[in-house]
Structure 1
Amino acid sequence: MEHGIFRDALIFLAVAVLVAPLCHRLRISPVLGYLLAGSAVGPAGLGLMSEQEGARDLAELGIVFLLFMIGLELSWDRLRVIRHFIFGLGTAQVLVTGAAAAAIMRAVGMDFAGAGVVGMALAFSSTAFVLQILSERGELSGQVGRLAVAVLILQDLAVVPLLVTIPQLSGHGFSFSWAELLALAKSVAALVVIFLVARLALRPLFHVVSSTRQPEVLVAAALLAVVGTGFATEAVGLSLSLGAFLAGVMLASSEYRHQIEADLQPVRGLLMGLFFLTVGMTVDPVKVLANLPHIAAGVGMLVVVKTFVLTLLALAFRFPLATSLHLGLLLAQGGEFAFVVLARAGQHNLIGGTEIELLTSVVALSMAATPALALAGEWVVRQRRMADGRAAAPDGAAKDMADHVIIVGFGRVGQIVAGLLREQGIPYIAIDRDPRLVVRLRDAGHADMVFYGDIRKVEVLKAVGAARARAVVLTIDTGSSREKLVPRLRANFPELRILVRARDRRQAKGLEQSGATAVVPEILEGSLQLAGLTLRHLGLPPDDVQALLEEYRRGDYARLSLTLERE
């Protein structure tokens, strides 16, 4: 028996086990880790994995599951809202970017037909990379997320006519037969039928399946919906991923959405990892190094042109500059469908083998740069938001406030602290780095003293009156941010009381040594409260229980921390 596929599976699982924790520790996207690992273990690297057809098919399933999960995030009603951006901004982006890239290809000596195909191929962005990043950061429902999804949907739809057109360009001239027009019309009609059948059948199917109360049957039904709808669209000449996306959209407004998402998340994660690994395997490190100046120039030009075009188009659609630039950077890379288009063009002799290798490396490396490009776009938005936050607070209630409390981080913990302060008539100002949360709370009228601000910038705290405040409460749950912010606060505001939320006693001691006035280790305090509740329910007098809890607190939780100290 041939064990190649099993060896590849073993290596992939080993890579997944190593890459994910390492990327988490280094605080980089696992996408980049899988790309680098694929290049290292692939045929052009150490040769540990082969580019087998089975592995590529599994990798394609990763995209299918990703599109299904994204569909679950985007109900039909939400898609209806962004339809103008799909056919307006999306169409404009593909045509303008494709024309610009084709002009560059013509300038470097490529013939008209080949330049046109390459230009359109480079106009596509990476659906897998971009949606993965947006999903990880919870930005799919934000303004930039909605715009990116709209553009990506149109790009995926544009692949179909492009693949139909490529064989025509390889002849003596372009012609489009009535048979091909009829085939295209049949594909559109079939898509409508699939959409209607999925809309009518999927929800009743899940209702019947869920009544069995057997989780494995629900998972099987979800897999059937994903793969079945995907194969239906592929059978009529469309892509697997488009069908999976439609299935997700149909189930997005159903009551089964969250359970399906939870059940398929591990499967989707593994298959997406395999997809990124196989993309990395297409990059030959030796050839990349040999052609590094040309490839680097190609990647730079691709990113600059796409960012410039998308930014201008978004501005033309009357979006703010920061949002437009963020969108342009987010979609500036090449896409996975470029590999399909370039391979098809090579089969019809529109592009030479050397050109395909060079362009494939450019696309793959631009995809690898996606996390950095996304961070750059976020930085632009943060700078804009932070500038707005710094300007707003001093001109508002914070300008003359004194003896107030500053709450840094206004999630659930921050809102509870604010509620108690408000009940006692103590003034406060809250700062949070999530602009969506700030806008939502201010619009809802629940927090009229909430401002956007980058908590890592002491200048923001100065703007909200930290020099005149009674205390600052750090409710943020990111340990590194707390550890960096506490010593800066102590150095700039020596008299300020700094009250901090910590994870455990060890972290609390570090924060106290950095200058925190008091630290609450939430795990230990939560455990202490639970133990006290247990003792009261077992019949111990409430006063005795309270005295016992205070004794533990006076002892700095030391008796509760023995297990943690051994770690």
Structure 2
Amino acid sequence: MTTLPLILMLLAAAVLVVIGFRALNLPPIIGYLLVGVVIGPHALNLIPDSEETQHLAEFGVVFLMFSIGLEFSLPRLFAMKRIVFGLGLAQVVVTLLLVLGASLVLGLSWQAGFVLGGMLAMSSTAVLSRLLVERLELDAAHGREVIGVLLFQDLAVVPLLVLLPALSQPAGEMAQTLAVETLKAAAMLGVVIFFGQRLMSGWFFIVARGKSSELFVLNVLLITLGLAYLTELAGLSLALGAFTAGMLISETEYRYQVEEDIKPFRDVLLGLFFITIGMLLDLQAVAANILSVLGLLLVLLVVKLAVVVTVSRLFGSGAGTALRSGLWLCAGGEFGFVLLARVSDLHLVDDEVLQVVLAVLVLSLLLAPLIVQISDRIVMRFVASEWLLRSMQLTQLAARSMGEEKHAILCGYGRTGQHLARFLEQENIACLALDFDPERVREAAAAGEPVTYGDCARRETLVAAGIGRAHALVVTFSDPQATARVIHHVRELRPDLPVVVRAAEESDVERFTAMGATEVVPEALESSAMLATHALALLGIPMHRVIKRLRQMREQHYVLLRGFFHGATDTDSLDEADQPRLHAVTLGTGSSAIGVPATELDLAGVSISTVRRRHVGRLELTQALAEGDVVVLLGAPKALADAECRLLGL
């Protein structure tokens, strides 16, 4: 097959798998591997295992290692040194030594055992970091351990790739080759560290002065591929050069722009790389050794779990944290495939053994999201202290909220939550904030802030926070999955409770509204409103017209604020008790408004802002009201009281 049809076939497969796996909310890496298995030479044979395919795979590895170098940050590593160079180093070394020992017992060479240990010690940075973000566990104790171990594993890949060519040499030449390779790598890194950063920063400054995005991207590609080529000429791996290029750029002020520009190339080439890895898998060989595959898979999961749990406990972590970290890290990872591809080229391990290991890595990567999903249940089942800790946290939260009534529950106590708490405090409204970051909770609580530790996406946490007595709930973070879980639990527990949520994307507004959110505040809308306000003012538009435009825009987008803006300045002269406000009324059994459309209700001095129905969300005002509907009214307090009596038939 020529190069163009090969690339077209790989691109078509990549597009289809990304569409399918994104729809299923699964990591695309798994899809790439499965596509490679199907279209490879051992299945449908649509794409042969050719030299062109291997070249594409090499480019994928180059950009993967460049990304690792780009993430390399000495301050970050220093801040996490105990986890990265303590827990991470111990996990990789112990796992590698255990695999090496088992390989020697099974009759394999020590070189084969060493490289197999390196492959199996790795976990998936791409899959696990994504899951940590989605589950809001990045700042949890086990989240920090997982990230620290993954950082060390990423760094460990570089010396392993440098050492692999030396391990393939005859015994008499191996020591000399290892020494030469190590010295060359050390010399190169030394030159880079002492001279490269200043040169790189100056060169990027010259390129950036051209103010051309095309020139900037071309420069990044030139540096990445150029350094990779130079290291190959020096007898080292392409990966080391790419890693070095990323490391140099990471210490410049252009790092984030480079990261954005290189991402499309990296993702596409990585997808092609994982497809080529899948093409290596021979299903017939796997079927013939299925017992070995399943046995090794079980051993891998159990051994890595035991290693991480043991090491984590030795470093002072609690039983629950250690077990969670072990469950997250027990599966294989993408860098295992990177090492496997290189080992296959160097023929360090028999093909039959490689097929078994490849199958185990693929299966473990498939199982990784499932293991993470059930990790909480496993920890609760086997760690008694976790039950006690969770119970104590809920008890403390319940005790904290016991004296609160008609309070506001704030989900999240980041900058947005802290600003909101200040507003509520100024209005003498009691609030209770929940946050999942123990460090933030500790510091805020020490400062006397109304915050306590708790995962607001859990039903029992909301109950303990006094949701049955609360007057409102506000979600201040922008994670869509967690926000959806909060809305779901709130609507089950308190259908009438006003819920205001924050949305990072416009696409989430309708979804959250349909789920039952009283109001959804899109970040983009408020940002554009403030930008427009300042821009119009600086352009000389009179301030009263600027404020009028701002009010009109918000009135159009926020249902609950409709009616506040027309003649809003007229309310300035009213007493505080006569100021218009919102009030929610739940229609109970026998309410006179049941069966009547909201538009036909005669509520003197009061307007209806919105109507919500459980499991339906916001209703049109022309729809007939039913029992359990929540009617949100706008008006002065006395008029609101009269309107509530009319609605309920009192």
* TM-score normalised over the length of structure 1: 0.79
Partner of 2:73: 75
Partner of 2:207: 209
Deviation of 1:210 after TM superposition, in Å, equals 0.9
Partner of 1:330: 329
Matches of 2:378 and 2:450 in 1, distance apart? 25
1:546-565 pair list within 5 angstroms = 553=562
Deviation of 1:29 after TM superposition, in Å, equals 1.3
Q: Is the 8 A contact 2:103 2:112 kept in 1?
A: yes
Identity of aligned residues (%): 28
1:109-124 pair list within 5 angstroms = 109-111=106-108, 113=110, 116-117=113-114, 119-124=116-121
Partner of 1:12: 10
One-letter code aligned to 1:149: L
Q: Is the 8 A contact 1:456 1:481 kept in 2?
A: yes
The equivalent position to 2:425 in structure 1, one of 419, 422, 426, is 422
The equivalent position to 2:188 in structure 1, one of 183, 187, 190, is 190
> How far does the alpha carbon of each residue in 1:519-547 deviate from its partner, in whole angstroms, 9 at most, with x for none?
34649976997999799959869779958
Q: Is the 8 A contact 2:478 2:502 kept in 1?
A: yes
Matches of 1:194 and 1:177 in 2, distance apart? 26
Give the total of aligned pairs: 539
Question: What secondary structure sits across from 2:306 in the alignment?
Answer: helix
One-letter code aligned to 1:67: M
One-letter code aligned to 1:55: T
Q: Is the 8 A contact 2:484 2:512 kept in 1?
A: no
Matches of 1:279 and 1:31 in 2, distance apart? 11
RMSD: 4.2
Partner of 1:130: 125
Distance 1:53 1:27, change over 3 A: same
1:369-408 pair list within 5 angstroms = 369-373=367-371, 389-395=393-399, 397-408=400-411
Partner of 1:458: 459
Question: What secondary structure sits across from 2:421 in the alignment?
Answer: helix
Distance 1:548 1:48, change over 3 A: closer
Matches of 2:551 and 2:88 in 1, distance apart? 63
Partner of 2:575: none
Matches of 2:156 and 2:552 in 1, distance apart? 66
1:15-414 pair list within 5 angstroms = 15-81=13-79, 89-107=87-105, 109-111=106-108, 113=110, 116-117=113-114, 119-125=116-122, 129-131=124-126, 133-134=128-129, 142-169=144-171, 178=176, 181-182=179-180, 184-328=182-326, 329-330=328-329, 332-333=331-332, 335-340=336-341, 342-343=343-344, 346=347, 351-373=349-371, 389-395=393-399, 397-410=400-413, 414=417
Matches of 2:529 and 2:339 in 1, distance apart? 57
Partner of 1:565: none
Partner of 2:573: none
Distance 1:208 1:132, change over 3 A: farther
Matches of 1:362 and 1:245 in 2, distance apart? 28
Matches of 2:238 and 2:530 in 1, distance apart? 50
Distance 1:464 1:96, change over 3 A: same
Partner of 2:450: 449
Matches of 1:151 and 1:530 in 2, distance apart? 44
Deviation of 1:264 after TM superposition, in Å, equals 1.0
> How far does the alpha carbon of each residue in 1:424-471 deviate from its partner, in whole angstroms, 9 at most, with x for none?
1212122245x3xx6346536788233343333221012122222222
Question: What secondary structure sits across from 1:43 in the alignment?
Answer: coil
Question: What secondary structure sits across from 2:107 in the alignment?
Answer: coil
Distance 1:450 1:253, change over 3 A: farther
Q: Is the 8 A contact 2:405 2:470 kept in 1?
A: yes
Q: Is the 8 A contact 2:121 2:304 kept in 1?
A: no
Distance 1:506 1:302, change over 3 A: closer
Matches of 1:253 and 1:273 in 2, distance apart? 28
Matches of 1:528 and 1:356 in 2, distance apart? 55
Deviation of 1:191 after TM superposition, in Å, equals 3.2
> How far does the alpha carbon of each residue in 1:261-312 deviate from its partner, in whole angstroms, 9 at most, with x for none?
1111111111121122222222233443443332122112112212212332
One-letter code aligned to 2:73: S
Matches of 2:43 and 2:108 in 1, distance apart? 33
One-letter code aligned to 1:203: S
Deviation of 1:30 after TM superposition, in Å, equals 1.6
Question: What secondary structure sits across from 1:407 in the alignment?
Answer: strand
Distance 1:310 1:164, change over 3 A: farther
Q: Is the 8 A contact 1:295 1:362 kept in 2?
A: yes
Deviation of 1:57 after TM superposition, in Å, equals 2.6
Matches of 1:156 and 1:541 in 2, distance apart? 57
Distance 1:300 1:557, change over 3 A: same
Are positions 1:510 and 2:514 aligned together? yes
Partner of 1:469: 470
Question: What secondary structure sits across from 1:403 in the alignment?
Answer: coil
Distance 1:410 1:187, change over 3 A: closer
Distance 1:85 1:241, change over 3 A: farther
The answer to which of 501-510 and 116-125 deviates more is 501-510
Larger Rg: 2
Matches of 2:490 and 2:233 in 1, distance apart? 62
The answer to which of 274-283 and 324-333 deviates more is 324-333
Q: Is the 8 A contact 1:72 1:249 kept in 2?
A: yes
One-letter code aligned to 1:41: I
Question: What secondary structure sits across from 2:452 in the alignment?
Answer: strand
Matches of 1:115 and 1:226 in 2, distance apart? 31
Deviation of 1:151 after TM superposition, in Å, equals 3.5
One-letter code aligned to 2:397: A
Unaligned runs of 5+ residues in structure 1 are 562-567
One-letter code aligned to 2:515: L
The answer to which of 411-420 and 544-553 deviates more is 544-553
One-letter code aligned to 1:110: G
Question: What secondary structure sits across from 1:466 in the alignment?
Answer: coil
Distance 1:6 1:79, change over 3 A: same
Matches of 1:94 and 1:545 in 2, distance apart? 57
Are positions 1:519 and 2:519 aligned together? yes
Question: What secondary structure sits across from 2:456 in the alignment?
Answer: coil
Unaligned runs of 5+ residues in structure 2 are 381-385, 564-607, 612-617, 619-650
Matches of 2:405 and 2:39 in 1, distance apart? 61
> How far does the alpha carbon of each residue in 1:489-528 deviate from its partner, in whole angstroms, 9 at most, with x for none?
344346644445575775466234xxx5x33464997699
Q: Is the 8 A contact 1:97 1:119 kept in 2?
A: no
> How far does the alpha carbon of each residue in 1:57-86 deviate from its partner, in whole angstroms, 9 at most, with x for none?
333322332332333333233334556666
Question: What secondary structure sits across from 1:167 in the alignment?
Answer: coil
Matches of 1:378 and 1:428 in 2, distance apart? 29
Distance 1:136 1:511, change over 3 A: closer
Question: What secondary structure sits across from 1:50 in the alignment?
Answer: coil
